Amino acid sequence: MKKCPYCGKEYPDDVLFCVTDGTPLDEKQTGVISAQDKSPSAGFGIRALARIIDGIFALLIGFAAGMAGGIIIEILNIAGLITTGWQHRLHEFSLTAFGLSLLGSIAYHTFCEGIYGATLGKLCCGICVVSEDGKPSTLKGALIRTLAFYIDSLFFGLIGYNSMQKSPINQRYGDVWGKTAVFKVSKMPSESERSLAHFALGMLLGAGCFFVTVVAGLIFKVSGPNMPATEINGMAQNRSIAASSGLPFPSNYGLA
């Protein structure tokens, strides 16, 4: 049995961290740990920075997927497999395309955090998702915390911040429900670490799914029934009027 030197709670030998206060359960460790040093968990600021980095990475994936989707759409157009008016449909809002891109984002975080424990943003910030007992994270826990992010992020993250303030190991609601926590890599024991091969696999699956869903969303947008010539001419006339009056209106509906 292991005993937490901070709160005195006992755990089985395979548990690496105290669930109550996050203290590492090192058998060689003695004495009382200060409240400032007791927890290896990452705070709100560094986790927000990791999300920003992931957001920038998502934009890069979206840009690459947009280029690939444009090439595929042009090939389909040349082959006569796309109906008239696809240029206009491409610039319209599509709930299905939005849902596909959202699904891709969920897959990115789930695979990266479930297989390796970190997305690109978390890797850059030196933090990692683990199970709340300090063991490596699971796909189930990663999926739950990823879905709950859309609740935790409400009001600029205030919901998640409020939960973290109440938790000794800075768990947002997604972490509580998924039984996970975000720890600093520098304070994690070797038993919790995974190889870069796990990161490569998680990134390949996660970023790959994100890329594919964005491309699929673009192709779905241009698919549809033929647009009547009168409607196309009407939209072209509206563009001409907007251009002459100085009103903002997209000047090019094709793929350059």
Per-residue tens of pLDDT for the chain, all 256 residues: 666 655 656 777 666 666 655 566 664 443 333 444 447 889 999 999 999 999 999 999 999 999 999 999 999 989 888 887 888 888 888 899 999 999 999 999 999 999 999 999 999 999 999 998 888 999 999 999 999 999 999 999 999 999 999 998 999 999 999 999 999 998 887 777 899 999 999 999 999 999 999 999 999 988 866 655 455 454 445 455 444 444 444 444 333 3
Q: Quote the Cα angle for 1-129-179, to 5°.
A: 60
Which residue's entry shows tokens 């779905």? 220
Provide the pLDDT for residue 256: 35
Q: How many domains does the chain have?
A: 2
pTM for the full predicted model: 0.76
Provide the pLDDT for residue 109: 98
Tens of pLDDT along 7-26? 656 777 666 666 655 566 66
* Domain extent for 173: 44-226
Based on the domain organization, do 163 and 77 belong to the same domain? Answer: yes
139/198 Cα distance (integer angstroms): 13
Tokens of 227: 């647009």
Provide the pLDDT for residue 93: 87
| Structural domain includes residue 78 | yes
Provide the pLDDT for residue 12: 75
| Structural domain includes residue 194 | yes
Provide the pLDDT for residue 62: 95
Based on the domain organization, do 28 and 56 belong to the same domain? Answer: no
Provide the pLDDT for residue 37: 45
**Residues in the chain, overall count:** 256
- Residue 92: φ, ψ to 5°: -90, 155
| Structural domain includes residue 240 | no
- Residue 19: φ, ψ to 5°: -65, -30
Based on the domain organization, do 93 and 200 belong to the same domain? Answer: yes
CA dihedral for 243, 249, 255, 256, sign (positive or negative): positive
Based on the domain organization, do 146 and 109 belong to the same domain? Answer: yes
